[in-house]
Amino acid sequence: MRRRHRRNSSTIAILSGKGGVGKSNIAVNLSVCLAEQGLRVALTDLDMGLANADVLMNLHPRYTLAHLVGGARALEEICLRGPGGICFLPGASGVHALYNLSEFERQHLITQLHKLAASADIAVFDLGAGLSRNVLSFAHVAERVWVVTTPEPTAVTDAYATVKALHKERYRGSISLVVNMSDSRAQAEATYRRIAAVAQKFLNFPIANAGYLLHDSSVELAVQARCPFVIRCPGSNASACIAAMASEVARSCALPQPRSGLLHRVAGLFV
Whether the pLDDT of residue 252 is over 90: the answer is no
Give residue 219's identity as a one-letter amino acid code. V
Q: Is residue 170 a part of any domain in this protein?
A: no
**189 inside domain:** no
Ordered alpha helix ranges (H), the chain: 23-36, 53-56, 65-69, 75-78, 103-118, 133-139, 153-168, 185-203, 217-225, 229-232, 237-253, 261-265
In a domain, 240, yes or no: yes
- Give a yes or no: residue 89 inside a domain: yes
Q: Residue 108 falls within a domain, yes or no? A: yes
Contact 36, 57 (CB under 8 A): no
* pLDDT band of 188, cuts 50, 70, 90: very high
Q: Tell me if 113 is assigned to some domain.
A: yes
CATH at residue 52: 3.40.50.300
pLDDT, tens only, 191-230: 999 999 999 999 999 999 999 999 999 999 999 999 999 9
Q: Is the pLDDT of residue 267 over 80?
A: no
Domain range for residue 82? 10-147+217-257
Does this model's pTM top 0.95?
no
Please indicate, yes or no, if residue 246 is contained in any of the structural domains: yes
237-253 helix and 23-36 helix, angle to the nearest 10 degrees? 60
Domain count of the fold of the chain: 1
Cα atoms in the Cβ-side hemisphere of radius 13 Å centred on 171: 28
Look at residue 197 and tell me if it is in a domain. Answer: no
